[in-house]
Structure 1
Amino acid sequence: MVNQHQDDLIQTYEALHALAEPSGKEEKTAHYLQSRLKDAGYKVNTFARHYGFYVDYPGETEEVIALRADMDALVQEVDGEVRPNHSCGHDGHSTMVLHTALKLMESGEKPYHTVRFIFQPAEETAAGALQMMESGALANVKFLGGIHLRPEQEVPDGKAAPVILHGAIITLKLTIKGVPAHAARPELAKNPIEAAGRLMASLKAVHVDTGYSLKPTELHAGEAANLIPETARMTFDIRSVSNDGLQRLIDQTKEIIQQVEQETGTAIGSEWVEFSPAAVQNDQAVGLAEKAVVKACSKDALAPPCVSPGAEDFHFYTFHNSGLSATMIGLGCGLTPGLHHPAMNFNKKALITGRDILYEMLRQADQVDWKEGTP
């Protein structure tokens, strides 16, 4: 029976991996997961505006402890073809949360809290968590757990971190409008390319005390060698280890944009997009995750907190719900060469370990009196 369950779990992963649908278009992925849950006896709660959904396993109280999985794939070039590709592990995350739900239903256990399994769309575009909250999927949730495959250099295979400390990120898109002119008459122009250069140089002065980065990632301007263009377009990737740090970076950047506008006589339009907040460590939730790793695996399997330079829209759940106890487990799985690499690969047996950790974390969370916030 154990081997059958393991085989089924791996087959689930392979089926989801083959579906690979982009953000906002997870129709077949959602249908597959919903079918498995319905067959097991769950009632599925769906929404009209997106493909996210959730199921509940009833407890003695309407207070909810929950797990969240993401369903979407990246769109990237793979062997010369641009297509959806599961290189961030969302197929694995959905597999582990699905099989945690199936294991709970099969067990027939009677938890004190209602247990919710949330399957969200559009993590890659930082839209899915917000959509699920707007749809009411977080109603009555007191504890929220998640899991994410981690690269080998962050969490070794066979180990699991009780929390992933992602940073905050935002993308700044700029449109610099100048005055065009023939290159032979530069005195008649207000050169947006020169304004872009001054902006890049000035932004090097931006600084906060905690870890951060502010870097240009795109610059487009000009179509002819002898013409000063009217428009330049730039993109900056801005990151900080904390939400407060990111806000300070934003404030300083806005001041510099205004200064460059005045100095160059150009008009700089700005668009702040793709914000994703930083993780805020919740010691209670991390403690539950630590116990779950030790009980499901061993003390040796417990890794220290995973500090990641990446971002995750999971943290919108706590950003907009300050009282929510939440953590995302970092699962070591021998993942190489890295997340978002088109050839990303990992040890599929780690999915079984991840399922067992999630199941145990729910059992630990069920023992907490969430009205008081103490065991």
Structure 2
Amino acid sequence: MLYLVPKEGGNLKNGIEERVLATFRYLHEHPEISWEEHETTQYIKRLLEESGCKVTTFNDCTGVIGEYGNFNSDLPIVGVRADLDALWQEVNGVFKANHSCGHDAHMSMVLGLLWKLEQTPELKDKVAIKFIFQPAEEVCAGALKMVEKGVVDDLDYLFGIHLRPAQELAMGEASPVIVHGAVKMYNAEIKGEDAHGARPHLNHNAIEVGSQIINHLSKIHLDPKVPHSVKMTNFHAGGKSSNIIPGSASFSLDLRAQSNKLMDEMEEKICSLFKALENLYDIDIKINEIKGAAAAKTNEEAIELMKKGIKETLGEESVHSSIVTPGGDDFHYYTRKRPSLKATMIGLGCNLKPGLHHSHMTFNDAALIDGVEILYRTVVNIFKS
């Protein structure tokens, strides 16, 4: 059963805020992982339809698009993106879907923007806004799917929003841009032959090969002025029999670089390392899957528009400089695939602790209405100019 959120009730404090908080609580209690956001898609679809949006869903994937305003004019078209998916992680000893990255908050704030626009009905013919509720951000695939679907082809501007940890922004602060780094996640395997524990000369121990990979990863030297890292995050070899020397194993790598150029250099080094180990140990190292996100491409016009929206909402003293983070977001695939887009992602201070992706992440939900107001002022200012 879908959760019924309160209808708008006049002013921002007593109407939209209640709806945003009720929506956030529902979404937080009903998380769905990447590509499985079926109920979330239907829930958002219903809310968009109730607000008079032209709604689009897809036959082959989750996600929903809502168009609000006048698309039959020469108005610029503004996209506002929110991510739908939750993480799969251990919470109190049980693995489950869990919104520990703030996507439930992002959806609620973007819906709040729509509801605030509804409170000024005379704006409807003077704006053209596309609400993009994108699946599968956590696996860095949803933005590319939306690009494939042509969702952003007609956009002039694109805005996103993301909660930020308390270490980056205090409650009541916001940044007009998050300069995410590039991220790649490798799932790979070592393929060799097993051997008897008494005859270690008959194979190459996949665990020892894994340790060689870890050792050599630490010896990759790239430009020290550009933040970067690479580490092994998963390794599995062997089974229940302790007298078998495993020849095969599976493992995962997490790669981070603050620029796309440095990421390309890092990947070249890793592929060379794999080739060298294959030749040395007479094994195969196969990369089965690569997931990831591009580093941010910043746009000064979009940043200035967002800065003005923050200033008008929170005051000039609350406008934080750009946030540079090694974390990634597939939002930046939109500008990599469509370079003409004027795009930026706002970072919202909300006293988020202990950190993003922590299974017990919490934040001050009073910040949600700050996000709604910043998005509203930013978008409306575009159509005033």
Question: Is this a same-fold pair by TM over 0.5?
Answer: yes
Shift of 1:163: 0.7
Shift of 1:184: 2.5
Task: Output the amino acid matched with 1:90.
Answer: H
Shift of 1:314: 0.9
User: 2:5 matched to which residue of 1?
Assistant: none
User: 1:208 matched to which residue of 2?
Assistant: 222
Shift of 1:186: 2.4
Deviations 1:25-49 (CA, angstroms, capped at 9, x unpaired): 2222222222222222222122111
Shift of 1:165: 1.2
Considering only aligned residues, what root-mean-square deviation do their CA atoms show, in Å?
Answer: 1.8
- Please state whether the residue corresponding to 1:61 is helix, strand or coil: coil
Shift of 1:204: 2.3
User: 2:39 matched to which residue of 1?
Assistant: 28
Q: Distance in 2 between matches of 1:202 and 1:83?
A: 35
Which one is further off, 98-107 or 29-38? Answer: 29-38
User: 1:274 matched to which residue of 2?
Assistant: 291
User: 2:4 matched to which residue of 1?
Assistant: none
2:72 aligned with 1:55: no
Q: Is the 8 A contact 1:168 1:241 kept in 2?
A: yes
Q: Among residues 193, 198, 222, which one is paired with 2:238 in the alignment? A: 222
2:182 aligned with 1:168: yes
Shift of 1:272: 4.1
- C-alpha change, 1:111 and 1:252, in structure 2 (3 Å) is farther
Q: Distance in 2 between matches of 1:162 and 1:51?
A: 29
User: 1:234 matched to which residue of 2?
Assistant: 251
- Please state whether the residue corresponding to 2:204 is helix, strand or coil: coil
Q: Distance in 1 between matches of 2:190 and 2:369?
A: 52
Which one is further off, 156-165 or 187-196? Answer: 187-196
Alignment of 1:6-17 (within 5 A): 6-17=17-28
- C-alpha change, 1:231 and 1:166, in structure 2 (3 Å) is same
- Please state whether the residue corresponding to 1:118 is helix, strand or coil: strand
2:109 aligned with 1:99: no
Shift of 1:297: 1.9
Shift of 1:305: 0.9
Alignment of 1:146-185 (within 5 A): 146-185=160-199
- Please state whether the residue corresponding to 2:212 is helix, strand or coil: helix
TM-score, normalised by the number of residues in structure 2: 0.91
Unaligned residue ranges in structure 2 (runs of 5+): 1-9
User: 2:301 matched to which residue of 1?
Assistant: 284
2:106 aligned with 1:64: no
Q: Distance in 1 between matches of 2:252 and 2:37?
A: 28
Q: Distance in 2 between matches of 1:204 and 1:336?
A: 30
Shift of 1:62: 5.9
User: 2:272 matched to which residue of 1?
Assistant: 255
User: 2:7 matched to which residue of 1?
Assistant: none
2:349 aligned with 1:336: no
TM-score, normalised by the number of residues in structure 1: 0.93
Q: Is the 8 A contact 1:158 1:350 kept in 2?
A: yes
Q: Is the 8 A contact 1:34 1:44 kept in 2?
A: yes
- Please state whether the residue corresponding to 2:139 is helix, strand or coil: coil
Q: Is the 8 A contact 2:147 2:337 kept in 1?
A: no
Deviations 1:305-364 (CA, angstroms, capped at 9, x unpaired): 112222111111112111111100000011111111121111111110100000111123
- C-alpha change, 1:231 and 1:103, in structure 2 (3 Å) is same
Deviations 1:175-213 (CA, angstroms, capped at 9, x unpaired): 212233223322222332332222222222212212110
> What percent of counterpart residues are identical?
39
- Please state whether the residue corresponding to 2:133 is helix, strand or coil: strand
2:101 aligned with 1:88: yes
Q: Is the 8 A contact 1:152 1:335 kept in 2?
A: yes
Unaligned residue ranges in structure 1 (runs of 5+): 369-375
Shift of 1:122: 1.4
